Chains A and B, each alone.
Chain A
C-alpha cells in the first residue's frame, strides 16, 4: 500500500473508531449516571451479558486503534530523535496491548462466571 493510502487508512480508522467510542461512552456513562449505585453481582452479570461484553471488548479494541493513531501522530510531531520516537512507540504499543488483554480477560471471567 502506498504511503498516501496508509495515511488515508489511519485517517479513516481514527474517525470510525471515534464515532463508536463516543456512542459507547456517552450511552454507558448516561446509563451509569441514571443508576445511582450497583452491587458486585449486578455489575458482574451486566458485563457478563453477551451483548454488553462484546460491545465492551469492541470498545477496548477501538480505543487501542484510536490511541495508536493519535499517539503516533503526537510522537511524530514532537519527538525528532528516531531512537526515542521508536522507543516511545514501542512502549505505547506495549501499554495498549497489555491493557486490552487485561480488559478482555476480565470480561471473559465475568461471562464465564455468569453462566452458573
Chain B
C-alpha cells in the first residue's frame, strides 16, 4: 500500500476557504477572547456606576463616548455570535442537527444572525 501523503500545510489565511461551520467555530473563539479582554473595562464601569451619583454620571458619559460606542458594536457582534454559536454547540452535544446539511445550515444561521443583530444595533445607534 502506498504511504499516505502528509497533510498539506497551507497557511495563507486570506486564501483558506473555511466552511460555514469553521467560520462559526473560529468566530466563537474570537468573540470569546474579545469579550474576555473587555471584562476589566466593564467591571470598572460597573463599579463606577454604583460608587455614587457622580460616578453614575461619569459612567454614563463614558458609555456615550465614541470609543466605547464603537467597542459596543464589536461587543454586540461578539455576544450574539458567541450566544448563537454556543446554543448550536449545546444542540450538537445532544445530537440535534448533526447531519451535514443541518450542521451547515445552523452554522450559516449563526454567522448571519450575529451579523444581522450587529447591523440592527449599529443602525439604531446612529
Contacts and interface: CB of A to CB of B under 8 A. Distances in A.
Contacts of B86: 18, 22
B101 interface: no
Interface in A39-55: 40-41, 43-44, 47
B51 A25 contact: no
A40 B56 contact: yes
Contacts of A95: 39-40
B36 A67 contact: yes
Please name the 3 residue pairs, one residue from A and one from B, whose CB atoms are nearest each other, closest first.
A99-B43, A40-B56, A106-B47
Nearest to B54: A40
Contact of B46 (A41, A96, A103): A103
The size bracket of the interface on B is: 20 to 34
A116 to B, nearest CB: 14
Interface string B32-43: 110110011001
Given A25-B79, A43-B49, A67-B36, 4 more contacts: A67-B39, A99-B39, A103-B47, A106-B50
A109 B50 contact: yes
Contacts of A109: 50-51
Residue among B29, B39, B46, B86 with most chain A CB within 10 A? B39
A74 interface: yes
Chain B contact surface mostly: helix
Nearest to B57: A40
Interface string B64-80: 00000000000000010
Contacts of A98: 40, 43
B26 to A, nearest CB: 11
A9 interface: no
A103 B93 CA distance: 32
Contacts of B47: 102-103, 105-106
A44 B67 CA distance: 26
A71 interface: yes
B10 interface: no
Contacts of B44: 102
Nearest to B37: A95
Contacts of A18: 86, 90
A95 B36 CA distance: 9
